[in-house]
Amino acid sequence: MADWVIILLICGIYLLITLIMGIVPGLKVSHSTTGYVAGDRSMNVFILYFVLGASIFSSFAFLGGPGWAYSRGVAALYIIAYGAVGMVPFYFFGPKARALGEKFGFVTQAEILEDRFNSKWLSGILAVLTVVVLIPYLTLQMKGAGLVLNTISEGFIPVWLGAGIAYVVVLIYVFFSGVMGVGWTNTFQGIFMLVIAWFLGIYLPKALYGGIEPMFTELLNSDFKQALTAPGLDADGGAWNWWGFSSAVIVSALGFSMWPHFFMKAFAAKSDRTIKLTVVLYPTFQIFLVPILVIGFAAVSSFPGVTPADSILPHVLLNMDLPVVLIGLVCAGTLAASMSSGDAIVHAAASVGVRDGLTKIPTVNRWLKAGDHERLLIRIGVVVISLIAYYFAVFSSTDIVSLLLGAYGGIAQLFPIMFALFYWPRANGVGALSALICGIITTLIFLYFPDLKPLPIHEGVYGLIVNIIVLITVSLATQPESEERIRRYIEF
């Protein structure tokens, strides 16, 4: 039996275990929208830690992280830089959102913003923004899964089929179990990929160079020396400037906890203490990225010229003398990285798209009130969004980290209005809506016309500057929201 067949069998067993673990938890929650979207608000610290960790560090980390270290050197450290501080806002926002959700029945990010700013338009735009930015994020996960199965099968399984196989499993357990299926599979997948990452991060430098220190010594004496000088290389192989590096960290840190599939877990947490303790423990998940980046550095001089760079991890595994069972487990861990984010993303996108988008259409809303159809509609949304992302995963050629970094610019525009929601009573719906629209438009303009940038910084920073100015100016120039509405947000 060929080695790649054995590897695929191991991956198949992993997918089966994941499917079972994803379906069973859904049997224990209520058959309501709150049960499907927020897990009846019952997640403990253990589950929440791995849900938030595994849902952020995914194909982006397991494939894109080594890919950036391999092709762009220490530029990849921006991932650790923003991840170290990105959870700080959630320590303050999360408990407040959880308490409000428990009191008023909120289960999505857009619902709490709509209520505070008294704006259905804001809810609708947030629904569209959520789906638009999460589809590239989901596409990223599918591309990662397809790339892994394609590489380990030596091209026998094309990328489109590999992505389809992995995400049919995700689709099934998210469809039936909702957020609790996401929670338990993420815990299993998170532990699995942590073990695999540390094994590879220690083993590969030892096998190829004799250790981590000899590895970096050799790199410093090679043509790769420039990439070990901060802030690393840009996408074209030239020196990345500090403007680009620093602004990428800022935008990513502000957008980190604003991702809807991340923020929504506040509504599923068991208590305020659960959220705060999770945030305090969360930086330990950053340690996972250290061996991930070491994997990329280990391949630089031993396996030059590998394209695309995101495929370097499976390429290294198949070109080293490793036991086939071990390769199979590592590839299963890489699939875990992809699926642990993909399930949370598709669940959140469908939930927000329905709860905050379609329900604002009068005809749809009347149909929903005629029977208990909302949960069914969200499930249909899971299928539709998965198919859209799958289409882009098959036909898009953008590299994994760049795809995510671009999406961060849009999602970071939520930060100013989320801050104002809790800490600036004078902010109103007109100001929040205007700020979000102007911030997004500005980000898009500089994204598609980078030559217009006065400074070579991330387009999301320009969006945030315009966003904040418009929020303050318009809010002060228009009528404030009612004192009664403001009071219930200030008292939390």
**DSSP-assigned letters across all residues of 277-306:** HHHHHGGGGGGGHHHHHHHHHHHTTTSTT-
Query: Which of the pair, 372 or 380, is modelled with greater confidence?
Result: 380
pLDDT at 471 > cutoff 90 = yes
What are the structure tokens assigned to 244, written together?
């680009």
pLDDT at 399 > cutoff 60 = no
Give the position of tokens 């009068």. 362
CA distance 492 to 99: 8
| 482: number of Cβ within 10 Å | 10
CA distance 299 to 315: 9
CA distance 113 to 471: 14
**DSSP-assigned letters across all residues of 175-192:** HHHTHHHHHHHHHHHHHH
Rg for the chain, CA atoms, rounded: 22
Closest Cα partner for 401 from 261, 232, 280, 277?
Answer: 232
The whole-number average pLDDT for the span 357-379 is: 71
CA distance 145 to 68: 18
Query: Which of the pair, 54 or 479, is modelled with greater confidence?
Result: 479
Closest Cα partner for 246 from 398, 100, 78?
Answer: 78
- Say which CATH architecture domain 3-406 belongs to: Up-down Bundle (1.20)
- State the pLDDT at residue 285: 79
Q: 267, 261 in Cβ contact below 8 A? A: no
**Lowest-confidence range among 264-273, 341-350, 463-472?**
341-350
Phi, psi of 397 (to 5 degrees): -115, 10
The model carries a pTM of 0.82
By the 10 Å C-beta count (0-12 exposed, 13-18 middle, 19+ buried), 397 is classed as exposed
- State the pLDDT at residue 113: 92
pLDDT at 401 > cutoff 60 = no
**DSSP-assigned letters across all residues of 225-266:** GGGGSTT-B-TTSSBPPHHHHHHHHHHHHHHHTTSHHHHGGG
Cα atoms found within 13 Å of the Cα of residue 262, Cβ hemisphere only: 24
What are the structure tokens assigned to 7, written together?
């590897």
Q: 413, 439 in Cβ contact below 8 A? A: yes
pLDDT level of residue 416 (50, 70, 90 thresholds):
very high
- State the pLDDT at residue 178: 84
Q: Percent of the chain, pLDDT > 70?
A: 93
CA distance 104 to 76: 42
106: left (phi over 0), alpha (psi -120 to 50) or beta: beta
The set of residues, in sequence order, having a beta carbon less than 8 Å from that of 195 and lying 6+ positions away, is 333
- State the pLDDT at residue 337: 72
The whole-number average pLDDT for the span 217-238 is: 82
Chain region(s) in the chain for CATH 1.20.1730.10: 3-406
Provide the CA 76 distance to its chain's centre, in angstroms: 17
Phi, psi of 438 (to 5 degrees): -65, -40
Q: 266, 98 in Cβ contact below 8 A? A: yes
pLDDT level of residue 312 (50, 70, 90 thresholds):
confident
- State the pLDDT at residue 1: 65
Closest Cα partner for 50 from 183, 197, 181?
Answer: 183
pLDDT at 140 > cutoff 70 = yes
- State the pLDDT at residue 406: 63
Closest Cα partner for 40 from 268, 234, 354?
Answer: 268
What are the structure tokens assigned to 284, written together?
């330990």
pLDDT tens, residue by residue, 76-110:
888 888 888 888 999 999 999 999 999 888 888 98
- State the pLDDT at residue 94: 93
| 455: number of Cβ within 10 Å | 10
What are the structure tokens assigned to 331, written together?
């590839």
Mean pLDDT of all residues in the chain?
84
pLDDT tens, residue by residue, 1-38:
677 788 888 888 888 888 888 888 777 777 777 777 77
pLDDT level of residue 365 (50, 70, 90 thresholds):
low
